[in-house]
Amino acid sequence: MIIDGKAIAEKIKSSLREEVFPPEADQPLAGKKKIRLAVIKVGADPVTEKYLEVKKKFAKAIGVDVRIYEVPKDISTNKLREKISEVVRIEEISGVIVQLPLPPQINTQYILDAIIPEKDPDMLSARTWGRFSTGKSKILPPVIAAIKAIFDENKIDLKGKNAVIVGAGRLVGKPAALWLINEGATVSVIDENTKNQEDYTKKADIIISGAGKPKIIKPYMVRDGVVAIDCGTSESSGQIVGDIDPDVAKKASIFSPIPGGVGPITIAMLFRNLIELSK
């Protein structure tokens, strides 16, 4: 079965809209303050603009106010940190995100660490990561929440499953591995330094890939009935493609493709986190 991420995201959107505008109320959250998301955007980039428009459209549909704070591309790390700290202190703002990637002169983690956990729906600051890794966070990183939504939708029990994570990045690989371990799965993490990668992938009940390398997981590398979740994006021949060859879908019991799989759900989960933090 191929996952329709847009359909799952639409269900979440409807649920979130009811939370922001309860049926019995004519004001957001039954008269409470309006939920507001601040987005820090550094410079102008067509790809960034595309992703930002998707977020703004989703926010409008559920009744969340989005404020864009634009700063020049040549800004220094310290100046950007000051700007974010200033935005974070605005009481009316429920959450703050930084549109990634940042220019090469910027120390990205130092910038993300300016966002306090109470206003960090993306869960990218070091303090938020600490809460997540110790099991003290009431929310999940959006991409992990999206993966969980797919598993919940398909009633997949993770206990005792053999899971392989492809790529050990901060956005997908590391949080996915940690979450799966906490859910009772047996987890292996492989990357470009792993020899004979198919020795791992062929034994996997679940494969989650976030390497960002076009079609590196081929059909011969997976077992029949595998659950394959693609979270890696890259460009090939002018098209956005995933890490997992689409032909893997023919062998998989569940296949989440790029595009149209995890991506739309991740955006929905960002806003679910925002609403949860606003409470």
Q: Is residue 130 part of a domain?
A: no
Average pLDDT over the chain reads 92
107 shares a domain with 189: no
**This prediction's pTM:** 0.91
Distance separating alpha carbons of residues 27 and 29, to the nearest angstrom: 6
Q: Where do we find the tokens 């390497």?
A: 211
Whichever domain contains 65, its CATH number is 3.40.50.10860
Which pLDDT band, with edges at 50, 70 and 90, does 226 fall under? Answer: very high
84 shares a domain with 168: no
Which pLDDT band, with edges at 50, 70 and 90, does 113 fall under? Answer: very high
95 shares a domain with 150: no
Distance separating alpha carbons of residues 222 and 206, to the nearest angstrom: 10
79 shares a domain with 170: no
Q: pLDDT tens across 150-206, in order?
A: 999 999 999 999 999 999 998 899 999 999 999 999 999 999 899 999 999 999 999
Q: Is residue 239 part of a domain?
A: yes
- pLDDT over 50 at 32, yes or no: yes
Whichever domain contains 174, its CATH number is 3.40.50.720
Q: Is residue 193 part of a domain?
A: yes
Q: What is the mean pLDDT of residues 231-235?
A: 87
162 shares a domain with 248: yes
169 shares a domain with 259: yes
- pLDDT over 80 at 27, yes or no: no
Q: Which of 131, 135, 123 is nearest to 181 (CA)?
A: 135
Contacts of 53 (CB under 8 A, 6+ apart): none
Domain final residue, candidates 83, 118, 153: 118
Which pLDDT band, with edges at 50, 70 and 90, does 31 fall under? Answer: very low
Q: What is the mean pLDDT of residues 2-29?
A: 82
Q: Is residue 131 part of a domain?
A: no
Which pLDDT band, with edges at 50, 70 and 90, does 43 fall under? Answer: confident
Q: Number of structural domains, the chain?
A: 2
Q: Is residue 47 part of a domain?
A: yes
What's phi and psi for 110, nearest 5 deg? -60, -40
Check residue 157 and give its pLDDT.
Answer: 94
Which pLDDT band, with edges at 50, 70 and 90, does 30 fall under? Answer: very low
Note down the domain range covering 180.
142-263
Do strands 186-190 and 162-166 pair parallel, antiparallel, or not at all (unpaired)? parallel
Ranges of beta strands (E only) in the chain are: 36-42, 65-71, 95-98, 162-166, 186-190, 206-209, 227-230, 234-236, 239-241, 254-256
Which pLDDT band, with edges at 50, 70 and 90, does 26 fall under? Answer: low
Q: Is residue 277 part of a domain?
A: no
